[in-house]
């Protein structure tokens, strides 16, 4: 088997939060084991505050694990100066964070070429034109300023900037969430086409289950810092194995009543058992007292004592 592009091995992240007179520990990521294979887009879904962005930042080497290890192409991401930054890129929700308002689009898009030492003006121009065309913008956009563009066009420029060095791994963190639905579909199609052309691997972080399905080959569900289900996209959307994943999908399909109280977001009441037991209609005494470990089931992995029964219904 090939070495995964990204490999998280038992990773924890603990932040210090709160006011200085009442510091508290925030356990944002807990014991995560996850790998992203070559040429794969892994979708990461979960409620606000579940730890998705922290996981994305871990994969970029922007957050240091408090425990465990993050490997990029088999090598630890930390303490290594030889890992080239241009091999990993990130696309955020607000393209404004990636684009300098005082720079022409062409200059913003070509900037990352400095990291890989592309100095020839002709070559830089050629690469900018090529990548702009790949995101559906003609060469005239290179001589415009970000404020002259629509939100969707700005996000396409941010994607072009992230991809110009041909990174092998990209994090899309809520990259289409701020766009109108019709523009969203257009940008998702561009991501799919670019992935097919440049064959990068990616972590696609989103609240939006439909957008995630559209681009991802596998789905991971996060809750309170933990991965509670991972499965191939096809089977996940047909037959999710965790009651929480089922509830997320039912709410997507417009069902208001699910076995979960999805509205009680971030109610992380401490329990010795399953962290979801206080919200789950399936929970029994075992769920309330013993924490389920994530385990293989069918063609995925799930952290639920009663998953075999859940998938029968
Ligand atoms: N730098 C930080 N310092 C302290 N706490 C942090 C930091 N970054 C994140 N957190 C906390 O870690 C937890 C997970 O946050 P994170 O942003 O990873 O979640 P998320 O699932 O991406 O949420 P959202 O969808 O709202 O962006 C939250 O409780 C958050 O407040």
d(CA 94, CA 221): 23
* pLDDT band per the 50, 70, 90 thresholds, residue 119: confident
The CATH classification number of 38-66+82-221 equals 3.40.50.300
Which burial class, exposed, middle or buried, applies to 256 when counting CB atoms under 10 A from its CB (0-12, 13-18, 19+)? Answer: exposed
ipTM reported for the complex surpasses 0.85: yes
Query: Which residue is associated with the tokens 């029964």?
Result: 309
Task: Tell me the pLDDT tens digit for each residue of 182-237.
Answer: 899 999 999 999 999 999 999 999 988 999 999 999 999 999 999 999 999 999 99
Question: What atom in ligand 1 is closest to the CA of residue 46?
Answer: 21
- Residue 168: beta bridge partners? none
How far, in Å, from the CA of 130 to the mean position of ligand 1? 36
How far, in Å, from the CA of 177 to the mean position of ligand 1? 17
Whose alpha carbon is nearest atom 26 of ligand 1? 48
Task: Tell me the pLDDT tens digit for each residue of 270-302.
Answer: 568 999 988 888 899 999 999 999 999 999 999
Q: How far is CA 156 from CA 80, 98, 174, in A?
A: 31, 11, 14
Please check the confidence at residue 98 and state whether its pLDDT lies above 90.
no
183 token code pair: 């523009």
Q: Identify the CA nearest to 193 among candidates 210, 215, 164.
A: 215
Q: For residue 139, what is the DSSP state?
A: G
Q: What is the pLDDT, as a whole number, of residue 263?
A: 44
**Domain boundaries, given as residue ranges, for the chain:** 38-66+82-221, 239-310
- Residue 244: beta bridge partners? none
How far, in Å, from the CA of 12 to the mean position of ligand 1? 13
Tell whether ligand 1 has an atom less than 6 A from the beta carbon of residue 268: no
105 token code pair: 């689009």
Tell whether ligand 1 has an atom less than 6 A from the beta carbon of residue 18: no
How far, in Å, from the CA of 107 to the mean position of ligand 1? 32
Contact 137, 153 (CB under 8 A): yes
Contact 110, 164 (CB under 8 A): yes
Tell whether ligand 1 has an atom less than 6 A from the beta carbon of residue 177: no
**Sequential DSSP letters for 38-70:** TT-EEEEE--TTSSHHHHHHHHHTSS--SEEEE
Contact 261, 248 (CB under 8 A): no
How far, in Å, from the CA of 184 to the mean position of ligand 1? 24
Contact 147, 141 (CB under 8 A): no
How far, in Å, from the CA of 131 to the mean position of ligand 1? 32
Tell whether ligand 1 has an atom less than 6 A from the beta carbon of residue 225: no
Q: How far is CA 74 from CA 104, 172, 196, 243, in A?
A: 38, 22, 23, 34
């Amino acid at each position: 088997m090939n070495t995964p592009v990204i490999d998280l091995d038992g990773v924890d992240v603990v932040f210090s939060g709160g006011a200085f007179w009442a510091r508290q520990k925030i356990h944002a990521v807990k014991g995560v084991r996850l790998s992203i294979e070559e040429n794969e887009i892994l979708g990461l879904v979960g409620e606000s505050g579940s730890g998705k962005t922290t996981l994305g930042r871990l994969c970029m080497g922007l957050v240091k694990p408090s425990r465990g290890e993050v490997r990029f192409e088999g090598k630890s991401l930390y303490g290594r100066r030889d890992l080239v930054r241009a091999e990993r890129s990130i696309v955020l929700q607000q393209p404004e964070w990636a684009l300098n308002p005082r720079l022409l689009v062409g200059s913003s898009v070509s900037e990352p070429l400095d990291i890989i030492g592309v100095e020839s003006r002709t070559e830089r121009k050629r690469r900018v034109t090529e990548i702009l065309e790949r995101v559906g913008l003609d060469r005239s956009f290179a001589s415009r300023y970000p404020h002259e563009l629509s939100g969707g066009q700005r996000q396409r420029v941010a994607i072009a900037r992230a991809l110009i060095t041909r990174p092998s791994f990209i994090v899309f963190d809520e990259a289409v969430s701020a766009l109108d639905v019709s523009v969203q579909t257009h940008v998702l199609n561009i991501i799919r086409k670019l992935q097919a052309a440049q064959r990068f691997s990616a972590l696609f972080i989103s609240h939006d289950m439909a957008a995630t399905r559209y681009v991802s080959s596998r789905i991971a569900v996060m809750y309170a810092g933990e991965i509670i289900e991972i499965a191939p996209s096809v089977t996940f959307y047909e037959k999710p194995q965790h009651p929480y994943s089922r509830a997320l999908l039912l709410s997507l399909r417009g069902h208001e009543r699910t076995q979960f109280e999805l509205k009680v977001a971030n109610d992380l009441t401490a329990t010795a058992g399953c962290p979801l037991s206080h919200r789950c209609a399936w929970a029994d005494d075992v769920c309330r007292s013993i924490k389920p470990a994530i385990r293989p089931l069918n063609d995925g992995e799930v952290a639920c004592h009663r998953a075999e029964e859940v998938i029968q219904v």
